[in-house]
Structure 1
């Protein structure tokens, strides 16, 4: 009976410790969609072709499936410990494929607080990972060759 009590107590303790954390959970900002800002939108002018718009804004996140005359550029930033910021730019084209209307939603003028990742991370496919190392990193990772080699 005493052995059963110990097993049950140990299992309950492990369940509580592993499932319920009072320390907190790490969260990170989640950006999604096309990053759009006021500088990009200010370059747009009515009468621009779709190719010119694509050069300035990039490919749209959403193209209406039944009506190719409307492009939506949507950006959403779900802040880890804050609110959700959403920006949307809707572009409408006339039947000749020229930009006719620009609609904006959200604050496009504010800068987004992206943190820079100074970690090494994975290398981009097709590149040499050693090319991204700085001289300082190379000295930290390379074995020291200043010791004399003893010869027999």
Structure 2
């Protein structure tokens, strides 16, 4: 009976310890949306066309489905151990597709930590996609096959 009690106690203790780690788990920052900086927003001026705005800010994350006169740029970063930070810029255009209003939410003046590690995962924006390809060997003269003559039937 004592062996059974010890086995059950040990099994319960191992189950509790393995399921609930007191050491902690690894968390990483999760950025989502369009990266928005104060420098980008300061380049915007009333009267700019939608094409000019798209050149400065990129394409918007959200466009109103029934009214293309409002563009929303949203950036949200869920910091692993600090909470969530959100930035939002809403741009309104007139009927001639000219910028008339700029609304900002969140602190755009602070720099955001943007990961530039080159590990596994999606490529960093602006990176050369050819860098991700494995290096290719250029054929040497010894390994290049010689062209075969073409025989045509007459």
* TM-score normalized with structure 2 length: 0.73
Q: Which runs of 5+ in 1 are unaligned?
A: 132-152
Partner of 1:36: 36
Partner of 2:83: 83
Higher helix proportion: 1
For 1:84 and 1:76, the matched residues in 2 are separated by 7
> Shift of the alpha carbon at 1:35?
0.4
Partner of 1:129: 134
SS at match of 1:67: coil
| Structure 1 moving runs of 4+ over 3 Å | 1-7, 122-127
CA shift in 2, pair 1:32/1:123, >3 Å: closer
Question: Map of 1:59-98 to 2, 5 A cutoff?
Answer: 59-98=59-98
Contact 1:33 1:74 in 2 (8 A): yes
> Shift of the alpha carbon at 1:123?
8.3
CA shift in 2, pair 1:21/1:129, >3 Å: same
SS at match of 1:54: helix
SS at match of 2:18: helix
Q: Which runs of 5+ in 2 are unaligned?
A: 124-128, 137-154
CA shift in 2, pair 1:122/1:87, >3 Å: closer
> Shift of the alpha carbon at 1:99?
0.9
> Shift of the alpha carbon at 1:50?
1.0
The number of residues matched between the two structures is: 130
**RMSD over aligned Cα atoms:** 2.3
SS at match of 1:17: helix
